[in-house]
Every structure is written in structure tokens, then in C-alpha cells.
Amino acid sequence: MTIHPPETLPILNHKAEIQEALRAHQTVIIAGDTGSGKTTQLPQFCLELAQNEGTDSHQRKRKTDLIIGCTQPRRIAALSVAERVREELTEKGENGLLVGSKIRFHDQTTLYDRRSPAGRDQKRPNAQEIRGDHH
């Protein structure tokens, strides 16, 4: 199955404007019609913005240092959104393990927890392994 965000999602026409508002303000409220792409595209806009901010590599956020929250009113919606964003990021060449979910006592927000059950049998990675630091 191939997941491509529709090129015609209305929110994509406002990406630069939204990212500029995020740079300038601590709180940004975005309203749009159902199906406009708010839920799946906004976390990706934030991730891209955080990765590209700063004048040098020390000021830019590492992907594993970021937490971008996306709330949903129901369990199934939260899991569906996390899966959709994971698939879109993976398709763009990003690491799908960057996306997690947390519902009450079911926390899948660490890299260790997001791996497959078979992968969890492996040694728990340290912070340098998660970030991809190589010295």
C-alpha cells in the first residue's frame, strides 16, 4: 500500500504561512474544514520547522529530541492518526519510528516501545544509538 498525502489538501497551500506563525508565536490556533489535512500535516510541518531552525547544528533540534503532540478525542482516532503520520513520514524517507502514541496506560512514545514486539527482545538502545550519534 502506498500512502501519498493528496497534493490538493487545502492546508498545503498555507504551509509557509503556518510555519511563519509557529516561528513568531507560542500559541497558534488553526481552523479548517474536515479533511483539509490539519491532523496529519501539522505535525509534519512542526517537525520540518524544528529540524531546519537555527544557524548551526547545535541550535537545530534532533529528531529524537522533539515531542510534537497531537490529541484526538477517541482511542481509535489517536491510533489511526499516529499510523497515518508514520506511513507518510516513512514514505518521505524519514524514520517511521519517530511517531508514537500514548493512550492512558498504553505508552508507545519511546523508540524502544515503538519497535515491533520482536525488536523489543533486543537490548534497549542508549540515547546515542537512538539519536544516531557516531563518534
Examine residue 2 and state whether it is found in any structural domain, yes or no.
Answer: no
DSSP code per residue over 18-37: HHHHHHH-S-------TTSS
User: C-alpha grid cell for residue 72?
Assistant: 484526538
Q: CB within 8 A of 49, min separation 6: which ones?
A: 19, 22, 23
Examine residue 4 and state whether it is found in any structural domain, yes or no.
Answer: no
In this prediction, residue 54 carries a pLDDT of 61
Summarize pLDDT for 5-24 with one digit per residue, the tens. Answer: 667 899 999 999 999 999 99
DSSP code per residue over 42-93: HHHHHHHHHHH-SSSTTTSPPGGG-------SSHHHHHHHHHHHHHHHHHTT
In this prediction, residue 64 carries a pLDDT of 59
In this prediction, residue 135 carries a pLDDT of 47
Examine residue 87 and state whether it is found in any structural domain, yes or no.
Answer: yes
Examine residue 72 and state whether it is found in any structural domain, yes or no.
Answer: yes
Examine residue 1 and state whether it is found in any structural domain, yes or no.
Answer: no
Mean pLDDT by 10 residues, the chain (135 residues): 67 94 92 92 87 64 69 86 86 78 78 55 50 49
Examine residue 31 and state whether it is found in any structural domain, yes or no.
Answer: yes
Domain count for the chain? 1
Query: What DSSP element (H or E) covers 107?
Result: strand 106-108
**CA triplet 18, 22, 7: central angle to 5 degrees?**
30
- Domain range for 118 is 10-131
